[in-house]
Amino acid sequence: MSLERTFVELHARQMRLIDSLEALHMAIAEDKPHKPDIALVDQRCAVVDDLLGRAQEAAVAGKEGVAACQRPIDLDIARAALVKCQEAFNPLTQVFTASLVSYEAMEELAGIWKERGRDWQAWVVGVKAALQDCQQPLYEVNEALFNCWREMSEHAGLQSVSVKNTAIGQKITMPRRKRIAREEIT
């Protein structure tokens, strides 16, 4: 796979992740029952807003990487874009896992269902489905980042010069002497 193609694939997967996060935001903020407001909803909306910001930041860097891979390829810009993508994605996955899909976070959702009754049941089910729908895009972006790093390292390896010296020291050989017959010596 070419470096440009890996960046194009990364950017496409980043956009799918953004779509999934937007759907999650809608499930949390828009699909909730109108009364009464719950602090957990506002807290989860803030977390998803943060994740969307990080995902959009990574997607902008991914697009920069695509542009850097056009002929002639600028490896320095492509590498910097890939670093930005990774720097935005790592905390995104950490926050998603810790704040939204951890055992404690899922228990809080279940608690709302139990406390608030039937009105909130559909909301909890919808939020859980939207959370589940984010899992695959997160995995795909992670895999696309890995493919970009692999392609970047292979591409960088093609342009480098390597000198390998396998000789250590000098090999000195002496010319062979003619054998002197023992008989002559005695």
3-state secondary structure the chain: CCHHHHHHHHHHHHHHHHHHHHHHHHHHHCCCCCCCCCHHHHHHHHHHHHHHHHHHHHHHHHHHHHHHCCCCCCHHHHHHHHHHHHHHHHHHHHHHHHHHCCHHHHHHHHHHHHHHCHHHHHHHHHHHHHHHHHHHHHHHHHHHHHHHHHHHHHHHHHHCCCCCCCCCCCCCCCCCCCCCCHHHHC
Residue 183 belongs to a domain? no
130: domain CATH number is 1.20.120
The CB density around residue 115, as the number of other CB atoms within 10 Å, is 9
Per-residue pLDDT tens for 78-125? 999 999 999 999 999 999 999 999 999 999 988 887 787 777 888 899
Provide the token pair at 169: 């020291």
Residue 155 belongs to a domain? yes
Residue 129 belongs to a domain? yes
CB 89 within 8 A of CB 54: yes
Residue 114 belongs to a domain? yes
Residue 78 belongs to a domain? yes
- pLDDT at 162 > cutoff 80: no
Residue 173 belongs to a domain? no
Closest to 18 measured CA to CA, from 65, 52, 64: 52
What percentage of the chain has pLDDT greater than the value 70? Answer: 81
pLDDT level of residue 182 (50, 70, 90 thresholds): low
Residue 108 belongs to a domain? yes
pLDDT level of residue 158 (50, 70, 90 thresholds): low
Owning domain of residue 148: 3-161
The CB density around residue 41, as the number of other CB atoms within 10 Å, is 17
Residue 61, judged by CB atoms within 10 A of its CB (0-12, 13-18, 19+), counts as buried
Instruction: State pTM to two decimals.
Output: 0.80
Tally of domains within the chain: 1
Residue 42 belongs to a domain? yes
